[in-house]
Amino acid sequence: MTFPGTLDDRDTQRAVRLAGAEAVPLWHRDKDLKQVDAVVLPGGFSYGDYLRAGAISRFSPVMETVIEQARAGMPVLGICNGFQVLTETHLLPGAMLRNNHLHFICRDQKLRVENANTSWTAEYEAGQEISIPLKNIDGRYVADERTLDMLEAEGRVAFRYLDTNPNGSLRDIAGITNEAGNVVGLMPHPEHAVEPLIGSGRTDGLGFFTSILKKLVNA
């Protein structure tokens, strides 16, 4: 999906192709999802992060269809700004606040995969440690205590930050899933860690895209 100000749509398309799937570019003004089997909301600064990151994109015409389809079970992955859009739509609970140190942060980040039963994480093992890039300023996940307890109890904390918490995220949460496991959002960027030749030289992020492809092919 591309919104005005999206940055990582091309890298996401590339990751989808590297996993062996077809990448279909979608545009925020078109309500039609072109019969795709899954949607990725990529990172960036959609609508310049005005008002709040993700707050305007959430009202893009396409989101009406995405919300409806996601509720009907279509797999949706929100990466960074995409995760912010997913919390704004309330497809995922909680909200993202400015990092506690008030700086934009850009570095490789170690994570633990806590839930390997979602549509996007089945190729990982629960407890597996991965390292993928993190780059944002509004990355501090917050929710009320009741919501946090519910997420923990239902195994819906999908990823947790390891080593140092980079932004003050509550309970070290890096990513969460909805109840059905088809909608997943996380702040770090799996699409930037899919080729051994670039960046950290790691391919720890490729599993997101192979997970969903395998699931759809076997469905």
Ligand X SMILES: NC(=O)CC[C@H](N)C(=O)O
* Residues catalogued as catalytic: 80, 189, 191
Residue closer to ligand X (CB basis): 86 or 213: 86
What letter would DSSP give residue 27?
A: B
**12, 36, 43, 58: which one contacts ligand X (CB under 6 A)?**
43
Q: Is 193 helix (H, G, I), strand (E, B) or coil?
A: coil
Point out which span in 39-47, 63-71, 156-164, 172-180 binds ligand X (CB under 6 A): 39-47
Per CB under 6 A, 53 contacts ligand X: yes
Per-residue contact flags (x/-) with ligand X for residues 64 to 83, judged by CB under 6 A: ----------------xx--
Cβ 82 to ligand X shortest distance, Å = 7
Contact 190, 149 (CB under 8 A): no
Residue closer to ligand X (CB basis): 49 or 172: 49
What DSSP element (H or E) covers 189?
none
Buried (b) or exposed (e) across 90-115, using 16+ Cβ within 10 A?
ebbbbbbbbbeeeeeeeeebbbbbbb
Q: Which two tokens stand for residue 73?
A: 């079970």
According to DSSP, the residues that pair with 110 across neighbouring strands are 131
Per CB under 6 A, 44 contacts ligand X: yes
What is the contact surface with ligand X in residues (CB under 6 A)? 43-45, 49, 53, 80-81, 135-139
